[in-house]
């Protein structure tokens, strides 16, 4: 049974209220941090914990915090990225819906550590219920003296605001988010400079994911060393995984990093296996932006050892035989699912969401969508598969922000692992229209 640090009390009635959250030990981390620790000591605990960014990139959180510039007389900001939009990813929404004070508590401790006096939670615009839940929880916390002026009599002031997002996937990219927060169109900025040097309104800013900020609470309560004991290698702590697709029990699970993927998919504690007695065909382990893997490589490494739910194990073998933990949006495809159709679907998404600033992404995502549509609808040629490969290669690494790579990788991995399925669509256009390409066709 995995230890639960974030979701331990998720089923307690009323845990979304301040009173019940407090009864379960909530806001202890704020008391400890503000009354007994210095900002530097908090940063040190987060560094010791080994926590890595839970939005998808996995960048060490303590290191990011220590990069924050501190010029005299210049404001610093903490911005929580709650613009969760990655297809297959719904773990932050879950946390904000059911246990909003965990995020608010994490925001107070993290803002104190970073020296921020004004902080923002930028929430995906479509998540109106969550925006209302957070606003209510912030009002409760403020009325009880956990926010505002002179918190707990320590002299520390913090104002926390919820900002609805601009309704575009690209606003989840941290610099596009900052542009949007400043009231502009959400176009990504060229990095460097990173937000830690020049972020919101040109001031030093840390942008952290919801889950990363919530994880600071158990790190401060129990200490960074205790947190680092959970997990495996450089993948420390627990991780929220949103599981969807053809699973018996889709949902949000908190796992200890290092759990075998096979156990995650098939054990009753987690997803309970593939729905309707079907076989697993493929997975996307970390949201749509990571390579798709066939079932055999999902469960085992190329050397036959079990693959684990960790940053290192999921990416073992590079893109030839591996993928990425990403945002933890785990999608399972059963034997009846069509990889070509799914790849076309992802391509449509990225084409629609491209901000259009750079040509390889703006034009390339459109061309990938067109060529995939052609193949999926029975009009493709063998040259189209090579053309697709060529387009994705010209996008990867040649764009301002990671959306270009994110659009290229699903296409590259689908061709790499399921080329025969593309070819079957071309050779058997009528048949491929009338039935899915299942394992039986191999
Ligand atoms: P990144 O690797 O460029 O940066 C990660 C973080 O580290 C950023 O905050 C960045 O500012 C910081 N950083 C990196 N190098 C730094 C340096 N030298 N100095 C200071 N700070 C530095 O990745 P990214 O663009 O932030 O994120 C890409 C990931 O986002 C993808 O892998 C994808 O999985 C994920 N994603 C998630 C969602 C979602 O809904 N959760 C949506 C889209 C994408
Ligand atoms: Fe915009 Fe795409 Fe370029 Fe990112 S990669 S800046 S989304 S055009």
Q: pLDDT confidence of 435, banded at 50, 70, 90?
A: low
Q: Is residue 57 a contact partner of residue 325, using CB atoms and an 8 Å limit?
A: no
Quick one: which atom of ligand 2 is closest to the CA of 399?
Answer: 5
How many angstroms is it from 188 CA to the middle of ligand 2? Answer: 7
**CB-based contacts of 118: which residues, under 8 Å, 6+ apart?**
75, 77, 158, 159, 161
**If pLDDT is split at 50, 70 and 90, which confidence band does 422 have?**
very high
Q: How far apart are CA 138 and CA 164, in angstroms?
A: 15
Give the separation between CA 88 and CA 241, rounded to whole angstroms: 10
Dist. CA 158–CA 150, nearest whole Å:
8
Mean pLDDT, rounded, of the chain: 96
Q: Whose CA is nearest to atom 34 of ligand 1?
A: 56
The residue whose CA has the least distance to atom 19 of ligand 1 is: 194
The pTM (predicted TM-score) of the whole model is 0.96
Indicate which ligand has the atom closest to the C-alpha of 191: 1
Task: Give the DSSP letter string of 299-361.
Answer: HB-TTSPBPEESHHHHHTTHHHH----TT-EEEEEETT--HHHHHHHHHHHHHHH--S-SHHH
In the sheet with 251-256, reading across from the earlier edge strand, the strands are 251-256, 238-245, 329-334, 280-284, 292-294
In the chain, pLDDT over 70 holds for what percent of residues? 97
What are 36-83's pLDDT values in tens digits?
Answer: 999 999 999 999 999 999 999 999 999 999 999 999 999 999 999 999
State how beta strands 308-309 and 259-260 pair: antiparallel
Mean pLDDT of 313-325: 97
CA of residue 57 to ligand 1 center, whole Å: 5
What is the distance between the alpha carbons of residues 173 and 400, in angstroms, rounded to a whole number?
A: 11
Sheet strands (E) in 201-247? 205-209, 231-232, 235-236, 238-245
Q: Is the pLDDT of residue 440 over 50?
A: no
Q: How far is CA 390 from the centre of its chain?
A: 28
Q: Is residue 207 scored above 70 in pLDDT?
A: yes
Cβ contact 177:186 at 8 Å: yes
pLDDT of 387: 98
Helix (H, G, I), strand (E, B) or coil at 87: coil
Q: Which helix (H) or strand (E) holds 252?
A: strand 251-256
Q: Cis check for the bond before 39: say yes or no (omega within 30 of 0).
A: no
- Rounded to the nearest whole angstrom, what is the distance from the C-alpha of residue 56 to the centroid of ligand 1? 7
Distance 120 CA to ligand 2 centre (A): 24
* C-alpha radius of gyration, the chain, whole number: 22
Q: What is the pLDDT of residues 366-420, one digit of tens each?
A: 999 999 999 999 999 999 999 999 999 999 999 999 999 999 999 999 999 999 9
Output 43 or 436, whichever has higher pLDDT: 43
Residue 303, pLDDT > 50, answer yes
pLDDT band at 166 (very low <50, low <70, confident <90, very high): confident
Task: Give the rounded percent of residues in the chain with a pLDDT score beyond 90.
Answer: 95
Q: What's residue 46's pLDDT? A: 98
Residue 104 has pLDDT above 50, yes or no: yes
Contacts of 322 (CB under 8 A, 6+ apart): 291, 293, 297, 301, 314, 315, 316
Task: Write out residues with Cβ below 6 Å of ligand 2.
Answer: 170, 188, 354-358, 361-362, 399-401, 403-404
Ligand closest in space to the Cα of 353: 2
Q: How confident is the model at residue 428 (pLDDT cuts 50, 70, 90)?
A: confident
pLDDT at 432 over 70: no
* ipTM exceeds 0.90: yes
User: What is the average per-residue pLDDT within 310-333?
Assistant: 97
Check residue 434 and give its pLDDT: 53
Q: DSSP strand E in 40-194: where? A: 77-82, 118-123, 148-151, 156-164
d(CA 312, CA 324) in angstroms, rounded, equals 8
How many Cα atoms sit within 13 Å of 263 on the Cβ side?
Answer: 14
Q: Whose CA is nearest to atom 43 of ligand 1?
A: 86
Q: 310 is written with which tokens?
A: 């960790």
175 Cα to the center of ligand 1, angstroms? 10
Ligand 2 midpoint to CA 367 (Å): 15
Ligand 2 atom at minimum distance from 357 CA: 8
């Amino acid at each position: 049974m995995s230890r639960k640090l974030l979701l331990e009390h998720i089923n307690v009635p009323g845990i979304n209220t301040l009173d019940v959250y407090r009864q379960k030990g909530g806001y202890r981390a704020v008391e400890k941090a503000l009354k007994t620790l210095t900002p530097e000591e908090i940063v040190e605990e987060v560094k010791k914990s080994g926590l890595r960014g839970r939005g998808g990139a996995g960048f060490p959180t303590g290191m990011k915090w220590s990069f924050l510039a501190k010029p005299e007389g210049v404001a610093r900001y903490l911005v929580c990225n709650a613009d969760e939009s990655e297809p297959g990813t719904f773990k932050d929404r879950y946390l904000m819906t059911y246990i909003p004070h965990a995020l608010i508590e994490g925001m107070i401790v993290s803002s104190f550590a970073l020296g921020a006096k004004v902080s923002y939670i930028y929430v995906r615009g479509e998540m109106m219920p969550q925006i209302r839940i957070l606003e209510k929880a912030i009002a409760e916390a403020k009325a009880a003296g956990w926010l505002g002026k002179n918190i707990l009599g320590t002299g520390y002031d913090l104002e926390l605001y919820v900002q609805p997002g601009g309704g575009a996937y690209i606003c989840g990219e941290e610099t596009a988010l900052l542009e949007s927060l400043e009231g502009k169109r959400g176009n990504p900025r060229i990095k460097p400079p990173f937000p830690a040097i020049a972020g919101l309104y040109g001031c030093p800013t840390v942008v952290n994911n919801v889950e990363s900020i919530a994880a600071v609470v158990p790190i401060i309560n129990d200490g960074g060393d205790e947190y680092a004991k959970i997990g495996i290698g450089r993948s420390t702590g627990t991780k929220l995984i949103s599981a969807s697709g053809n699973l018996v029990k889709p949902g949000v699970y908190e796992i200890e990093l290092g759990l075998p993927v096979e156990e995650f998919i098939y054990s009753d504690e987690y997803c309970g296996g593939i729905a309707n007695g079907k076989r697993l065909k493929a997975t996307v382990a970390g949201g749509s932006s990571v390579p798709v893997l066939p079932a055999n490589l999902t469960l085992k490494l190329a050397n036959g050892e079990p693959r684990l739910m960790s940053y290192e194990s999921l990416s073992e073998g590079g893109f030839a035989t591996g993928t990425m933990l990403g945002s933890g949006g785990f999608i399972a495809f059963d034997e009846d699912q069509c990889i070509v159709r799914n790849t076309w679907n992802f391509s449509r998404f990225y084409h629609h969401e491209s901000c259009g600033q750079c040509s390889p992404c703006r034009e390339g995502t459109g061309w990938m969508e067109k060529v995939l549509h052609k193949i999926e609808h029975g009009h493709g040629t063998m040259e189209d598969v090579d053309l697709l490969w060529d387009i994705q290669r010209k996008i990867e690494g040649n764009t301002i922000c990671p959306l270009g790579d994110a659009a290229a990788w699903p296409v590259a991995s689908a061709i790499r692992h399921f080329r025969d399925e593309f070819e079957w669509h071309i050779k058997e256009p009528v048949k491929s229209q009338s039935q899915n390409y299942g394992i039986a066709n191999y």
